[in-house]
Structure 1
Amino acid sequence: MAILHRRRIHDRDLRRDANGDYSGVDCLLCTTENANVGSMVFYRVHLDRSRNAFAAMEEQSEDLSEIAQAVLDPATGYYPDEASGLLEYAGSALLVMDRVTLHEA
Structure 2
Amino acid sequence: MTDRPRQAPMPASLRQGRPPRHPALTVRCPHCQAAPDMRCTTRAGRARIQRLDPCPARLADWAQTTAVCPHCQVAPGTPCHDSGIQRPDSSPVHAQRYTEATETAA
Both structures adopt the same fold (TM-score exceeding 0.5): no
Per residue, is there more helix in 1 or in 2? 2
Higher-Rg structure is 1
Higher strand share: 1
| Higher relative contact order (Cα pairs below 8 Å, separated by 6+ residues) | 1
